[in-house]
């Protein structure tokens, strides 16, 4: 009798778990995903380089911030030419970052706190030290001879065509053992794989399975639009001007976003579907909503979250331009979830791109509200929630990112946005105990750090925490339909998030350096209320009571219920 009772309790628990797991399979639709650059997040063993245990040590901070998932940039074995984006073993851990046991512990501790783990997956290229490439370069007849993109040069010893690397100069590297060139979209130490080869696909799909079995909730697919190049190797058409490395600019119609990529995205979707609730995020720098839509797949059978980089990297504070991108995301993506992103480890921090010096704090809040309140999934990059800014190296000798050395001084590289995370005002900003850290800590770490901002209820960190909490807990912000209002206003973006019961949250964002008076009538949007009840605003004194009389200070942002 007792055993039967225990068994039925057990069955109830199991089915409840399965139900919630099943219900949870679309968790990413709403997610706040936090990008961690492991080298710069936390250094647990005092060698000046961040590591996996350093991430585990800081999981409570991430839980408190309210993030749903962490995306870890590559921590696999690598010669570190491109700081991990040159992988020499897809199923291991670089000793600099720890061991597989450290990864398993990180996974377990994150899961305990309800935080999912997303791995970076670099499918476009490997390191030139990967055994696959070593074999491939050894002869023209070895079993992996066709795993990379090899071609004969022109008769005069010149490369096969005019393609240039994103990281400067010809994208072709001569290899004496084969008397041929191989193609590299990035550094020459990052040869491109040949995705027309079925064995390459199978090998890579198996690495995805390896990590999903370890419990990862999905992948951020690096350079995913670049998997294929024109099979006929046609020259790229030249564009105006030169790049930071002195090369003539080219359009990239034969090396980026080729239609064949969709076949691979469908297969990746099938592979991840073997495991429930996994997500595919794409690094998709695309120029139109139409191109972005294709990445979801005509039958929703490709990526769940291709990054919408158009909104976050607009790089000018223009209400009409942001409005048009929000509208595109609502109307042209066929109901798919946009993934908005303002910062990552490859671009200047948002304050460097949008700040005006005088209103940086208000602008950081404005963009935080723009990121967190529409119908979207949201990416944030470590330190964004603190208002960290870029600090570029002053001298070329100090530059760590190779493109910064090649392109100096026009291109200073990406060190500036990869500085150690500032945890407190102690030595090394609490990041490390080393005498020197791999990149210096920011000069402003005494004031811009987690501990200081945690103590201050008015800090940017406190603002982000509230936004993330509201986004989860407030029914309208979570589930409401997005309705743009006052759509001709040249300075202020206003929109509603409205649920079917008629309840609505109003968001108003002033994109100008002047105070703006906003007079809204929400009846045509199906909202009869006129009173406002504040949820959050960029300053304490911004607290309008009527939608018909709102005065927004320079770059002010307001979020409130309409009643």
Q: Please identify every residue annotated as catalytic.
A: 222, 274
Exposure b/e, 407-429, CB count within 10 A at least 16 = b: bbeebbbbbbbbbbbbbbeeebb
223 binds ligand NOJ (CB under 6 A): yes
423 binds ligand NOJ (CB under 6 A): no
- Give the distance from CA 324 to its chain's centroid: 22
- Write down the least CB distance from residue 71 to ligand NOJ, Å: 11
Q: Under DSSP, is residue 123 helix (H, G, I), strand (E, B) or coil?
A: coil
47 binds Ca ion (CB under 5 A): yes
| Interacting span for Ca ion (CB under 5 A) from 35-43, 117-125, 263-271, 298-306 | 35-43
In the bound state with Ca ion, the residue whose beta carbon lies nearer, of 45 and 512, is 45
Q: Which does 123 bind (CB under 5 to 8 A by kind): ligand NOJ, Ca ion, none?
A: none
Of 239, 231, 69, 63, the C-alpha closest to 161 is 231
- Distance of alpha carbon 318 from alpha carbon 316, whole angstroms: 6
In the bound state with Ca ion, the residue whose beta carbon lies nearer, of 92 and 320, is 92
Q: Give, as one character, the DSSP assignment of residue 321.
A: H
For ligand NOJ, what does the binding mask look like between residues 173 and 192, x meaning CB under 6 A? -------------x------
- Which parts of 267-326 interact with ligand NOJ (CB under 6 A)? 283
Q: Containing H/E element for 289?
A: helix 289-296
505 phi, psi to nearest 5 deg: -110, 135
402 binds ligand NOJ (CB under 6 A): no
222 binds ligand NOJ (CB under 6 A): yes
**What are the residues facing 557 on neighbouring strands?**
509
Q: Which of 31, 36, 51, 411 binds Ca ion (CB under 5 A)?
A: 51
**What are the residues facing 119 on neighbouring strands?**
72, 219
- Write down the least CB distance from residue 83 to ligand NOJ, Å: 7
In the bound state with ligand NOJ, the residue whose beta carbon lies nearer, of 122 and 362, is 122
- Write down the least CB distance from residue 447 to Ca ion, Å: 26
In the bound state with ligand NOJ, the residue whose beta carbon lies nearer, of 186 and 254, is 186
- Are 87 and 146 in contact, with CB atoms under 8 Å apart? no
Q: Which does 51 bind (CB under 5 to 8 A by kind): Ca ion, ligand NOJ, none?
A: Ca ion
82 binds ligand NOJ (CB under 6 A): yes
Q: What is the DSSP string of 414-449?
A: SGGG-PPP--SSSGGGGS--SSS-SSPPPTTTTTSS
Q: Please give the structure tokens belonging to residue 500.
A: 């079917």
354 binds ligand NOJ (CB under 6 A): no
Q: Please work out, in degrees rounded to the nearest 5, the angle formed at the alpha carbon of residue 251 by the alpha carbons of 222 and 164.
A: 65
In the bound state with ligand NOJ, the residue whose beta carbon lies nearer, of 126 and 476, is 126
**For binding to Ca ion (CB under 5 A), which residues are involved?**
43, 45, 47, 49, 51
**For binding to ligand NOJ (CB under 6 A), which residues are involved?**
82, 85, 122, 186, 222-223, 283, 345-346
């Amino acid at each position: 009798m007792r055993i039967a009772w225990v068994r039925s309790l057990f069955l109830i628990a199991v089915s409840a778990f399965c139900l919630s797991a099943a219900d949870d399979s679309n968790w990413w639709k709403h997610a706040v995903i936090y990008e961690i650059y492991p080298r710069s997040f936390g250094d647990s063993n005092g060698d000046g380089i961040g590591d996996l245990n350093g991430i585990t040590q800081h999981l409570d901070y991430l839980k408190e911030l309210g993030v749903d998932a962490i995306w870890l940039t590559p921590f696999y074995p690598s010669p570190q030419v491109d700081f991990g984006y040159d992988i020499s073993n897809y199923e291991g851990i670089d000793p600099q970052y720890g061991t597989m046991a450290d990864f398993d512990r990180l996974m377990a501790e994150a899961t305990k706190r309800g935080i999912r783990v997303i791995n970076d997956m670099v499918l476009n290229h490997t390191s030139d030290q990967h055994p696959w490439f070593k074999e491939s370069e050894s002869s023209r007849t070895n079993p992996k001879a066709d795993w990379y993109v090899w071609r004969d040069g022109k008769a005069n010893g010149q490369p096969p065509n005019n393609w240039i690397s994103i990281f400067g100069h010809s994208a072709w590297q001569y290899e004496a053992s084969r008397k041929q060139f191989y193609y590299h979209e990035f550094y020459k130490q990052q040869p491109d794989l040949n995705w027309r080869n079925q064995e390459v696909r199978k090998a890579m799909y198996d690495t995805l399975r390896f990590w999903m079995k370890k419990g990862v909730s999905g992948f951020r697919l690096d350079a995913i639009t670049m998997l294929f190049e024109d099979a006929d190797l046609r020259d790229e058409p030249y564009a105006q001007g030169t790049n930071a490395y002195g090369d003539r600019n080219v359009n990239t119609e034969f090396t980026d976003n080729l239609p064949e990529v969709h076949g691979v995205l469908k297969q990746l979707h099938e592979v991840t579907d073997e495991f429930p609730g996994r997500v595919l995020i794409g690094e998709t720098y695309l120029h139109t909503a139409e191109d972005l839509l294709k990445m979801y797949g005509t039958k929703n059978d490709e990526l769940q979250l291709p990054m919408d980089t158009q909104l976050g990297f607009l790089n000018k504070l223009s209400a009409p331009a942001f409005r048009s991108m929000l509208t595109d995301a609502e109307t042209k993506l066929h109901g798919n979830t946009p993934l908005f992103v303002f910062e990552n480890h490859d671009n200047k921090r948002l304050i460097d791109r949008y700040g005006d010096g005088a209103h940086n704090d208000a602008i950081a809040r404005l963009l935080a509200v723009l990121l967190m309140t529409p119908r979207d999934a949201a990416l944030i990059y470590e330190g964004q929630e603190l208002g960290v800014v870029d600090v570029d190296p002053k001298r070329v000798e100090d530059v760590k990112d190779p493109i910064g050395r090649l392109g100096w001084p026009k291109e200073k590289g990406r060190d500036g946005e990869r500085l150690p995370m500032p945890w407190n005002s102690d030595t090394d900003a609490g990041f490390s105990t080393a005498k020197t850290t791999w990149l210096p800590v920011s000069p402003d770490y005494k004031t811009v750090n987690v501990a200081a901002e945690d103590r201050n209820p008015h800090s940017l960190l406190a603002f982000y925490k509230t936004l993330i909490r509201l986004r989860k807990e407030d029914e309208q912000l979570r589930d409401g339909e997005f309705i743009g209002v006052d759509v001709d206003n040249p300075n202020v973006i206003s929109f509603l998030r409205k649920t079917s019961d008629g309840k609505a949250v109003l968001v108003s964002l002033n994109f100008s350096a002047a105070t703006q008076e906003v007079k809204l009538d929400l009846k045509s949007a199906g909202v009869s209320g006129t009173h406002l009840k504040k949820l959050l605003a960029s300053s304490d004194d911004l607290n309008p009571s009527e939608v018909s009389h709102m005065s927004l200070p320079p770059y002010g942002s307001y979020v409130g219920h309409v009643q």
